């Protein structure tokens, strides 16, 4: 699971970089579930704070259910794709092809699921507000060893602004999202791991 930290150690830290109204109302789990279920496609910039303190940037593409793509900007030579029930981590420095993991064994599966109902699921382990944003921490109740994800939402309008993924050995990665453009059309090829493998081999 060590290499999975490249993407899955995405962990939200503080909200100092987020402009949010003071004393925003805490969002309910039902409101958050409704927002995530309505989020079909999205594109935007992201900043990733890795567990070793380094910072990466890039572009994220989301197509629910089950698909996400992280394109890392230079000098990074990495790409992460979730699609077809798998997560693939591409590294230009490797000659062995991408590392692959079942999506269901990563915390990202929680927000990429087809039907999200945080109010009923046993996965929520924390639900708080700091006056500017609502924080929800979740994990697979049957497999806590898969790690956890902390989601940070602002309200009015409801928006996912960052998340934190903690792995099974305590490492964390933070992904801070820029403004997401939602509702557009994204090609399925963006999330096709086999097609990407052929492209990288050329």
What is the CATH classification number for the domain harbouring 46?
2.50.20.10
Query: 20 pLDDT exceeds 60?
Result: no
**106-118: per-residue pLDDT in tens?**
888 988 999 999 9
- Residue 65's CB is within 10 A of a number of other CB atoms, namely 13
Percentage of residues of the chain with pLDDT beyond 90:
59
What is the H or E stretch that residue 195 is in?
A: helix 193-201
Residue numbers of the domain that contains 190: 5-201
pLDDT at position 71 is 96
Report how far residue 171's alpha carbon sits from residue 140's, in angstroms, rounded to the nearest whole number: 17
Whether the CB-CB separation of 90 and 200 falls below 8 Å is answered with yes
- Report the range of poorest mean pLDDT among 1-5, 38-42, 152-156, 173-177: 1-5
pLDDT at position 129 is 93
pLDDT at position 167 is 83
Residue the block writes with tokens 């999205």 = 42
- Report the range of poorest mean pLDDT among 29-43, 73-87, 91-105, 180-194: 91-105
- How many structural domains is the chain composed of? 1
Average pLDDT, the chain: 85
Predicted structure pTM score: 0.84
- Residue 167's CB is within 10 A of a number of other CB atoms, namely 22
């Amino acid at each position: 699971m060590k290499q999975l930290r490249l993407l899955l150690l995405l962990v939200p830290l503080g909200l100092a970089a987020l402009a949010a109204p003071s004393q925003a109302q805490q969002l309910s789990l039902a409101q958050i579930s409704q927002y995530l279920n309505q989020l079909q496609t999205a594109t935007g910039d992201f900043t990733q704070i890795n567990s070793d303190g380094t910072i990466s940037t890039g572009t994220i593409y989301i197509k629910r259910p089950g698909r996400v793509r992280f394109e890392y900007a230079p000098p990074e030579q990495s790409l992460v794709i979730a699609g077809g029930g798998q997560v693939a981590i591409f590294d230009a420095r490797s000659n062995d092809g991408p590392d692959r993991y079942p999506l269901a064994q990563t915390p990202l599966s929680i927000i990429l699921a087809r039907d999200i109902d945080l109010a009923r699921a046993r996965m929520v382990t924390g639900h708080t507000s700091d006056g500017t944003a609502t924080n929800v921490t979740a994990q697979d109740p049957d497999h806590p060893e898969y790690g956890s994800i902390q989601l940070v939402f602002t309200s009015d309008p409801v928006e996912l602004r960052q998340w934190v993924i903690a792995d099974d050995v305590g490492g964390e990665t933070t992904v801070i999202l820029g403004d997401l453009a939602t509702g557009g059309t994204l090609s399925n090829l963006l999330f096709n791991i086999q097609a990407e493998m052929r492209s990288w081999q050329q």
